Amino acid sequence: MADDLEVFNAHRERLRGVAYRVLGRAADTEDVVQDAWLRWSAVDQAEVDDPEAYLVRVTTRLAVDRLRSAQSRREAYVGSWLPEPVVTGPDVAERVALADSVSTAMLLVLESLSPLERAVFVLREAFGYSYAEIAGIVDRSEPAVRQTAARARAHVEDQRVRYDTDRATRTAVTERFLAACAGGDLGRLVEVLAPGVALISDGGGLAQAPRKPILGAELVARALVTFAGRTPDGLTAEIVDLNGGPGIVARAGGAVVSAMTLFLRDGLIETIHLIANPEKLTAIPPAR
């Protein structure tokens, strides 16, 4: 019979995926997964018929409780709040629905849901659990879960923006964008930006970043060139898979100083998420 840790590790990535989509914070995700392990290690495995169901139930409830306590802290957050970026592999990027569910744009939309709505939406839309299974996970009746899921889905569909999903296009535009930023080429930068592009920066009061969104191609291009010009000596930037798609990670002295994700519509950059808050960059590995 498999030991406690072996069984838990078999489901760890799923638990991490559920917790991250519910919370939008990498550090909180790891705390929740660790708490789930403590719960799991304290139970008699022989009494658990379905380890995955038990672990997902525990993880979801822990994540919902933590999200409720975090919402008051976010109300006092300095500047724009963005989900923490995480490194994802090509396997996620190649599955469009899964990649979309972990993108910072989708996670930002999910912020407008209640903790219960968010958990139900994640379990149903990202992981495909049945309404009956979700009812057991969140301790609600199946009809109540169906209503919650419908309400959450309608809200998300009303709020979300449909961005380009073609990976080749996103990668090519990201490469052009990075080259223009690195070269301080304002003209080439404007060429890849949509006229109404929005730059949303998250410094959390701990790093230099605009506290309000910057709108419009000219203003965004100038802000990015200025931002690039203020970076420390020895800065390097590379394209990395972030949240299900190509992103840009900047490092100085081996330490991560910013992460950027670009969202395209009709081949042009419509929205830019720039995370510079050092507390939100801990899930991205330092330089190899």
- Look at residue 147 in the predicted model and tell me its pLDDT: 98
Q: In percent, how much of the chain has pLDDT > 90?
A: 73
Average confidence (pLDDT) over 105-118:
94
Listed in sequence order, the residues at least 6 apart from 269 whose beta carbon sits closer than 8 Å to its beta carbon are 173, 177, 192, 193, 194, 197, 262, 263
Highest mean pLDDT among 87-101, 190-204, 217-231: 190-204
- Look at residue 71 in the predicted model and tell me its pLDDT: 73
Average confidence (pLDDT) over 90-106:
72
In this model, does residue 94 exceed pLDDT 70? no
- Look at residue 288 in the predicted model and tell me its pLDDT: 63
Average confidence (pLDDT) over 162-185:
93
Q: Among the listed ranges 55-64, 188-197, 279-288, which one has the minimum average pLDDT value? A: 279-288
Average confidence (pLDDT) over 154-162:
93
Q: In percent, how much of the chain has pLDDT > 70?
A: 94
- Look at residue 92 in the predicted model and tell me its pLDDT: 61
Distance of CA 211 to the CA centre of its chain: 20
Tell me if the pTM is above 0.85: yes
In this model, does residue 135 exceed pLDDT 80? yes
- Look at residue 1 in the predicted model and tell me its pLDDT: 42
In this model, does residue 228 exceed pLDDT 70? yes
What is d(CA 153, CA 145) in angstroms, rounded to the nearest whole number?
Answer: 12
Locate 48 and state its tokens: 């658990």
Give the CA angle between residues 219, 221, 224 to the nearest 5°: 110
Domains in the chain, start-ordered, CATH in brackets? Answer: 4-80+112-159 (1.20.140.160), 167-280 (3.10.450.50)
Instruction: Return the sign of the alpha-carbon dihedral for residues 271, 277, 280, 283.
Output: positive
- Look at residue 233 in the predicted model and tell me its pLDDT: 72
Mean pLDDT over all residues of the chain?
A: 91
Strand 268-275 vs strand 193-202: parallel, antiparallel, or unpaired?
Answer: parallel
Q: Could you tell me the CA-to-CA distances from 131 to 37, 136, 140 in Å, in that order?
A: 25, 9, 10
More confident residue, 228 or 6: 6
Q: List, in sequence order, every beta strand (DSSP E) within the chain.
A: 193-202, 214-215, 236-242, 245-252, 255-265, 268-275
pLDDT in tens, 18-34: 999 999 999 899 999 99
- Which one-letter DSSP state was computed for residue 242? E
Give the CA angle between residues 179, 83, 72 to the nearest 5°: 145
Phi, psi of 219 (to 5 degrees): -65, -40
More confident residue, 94 or 218: 218
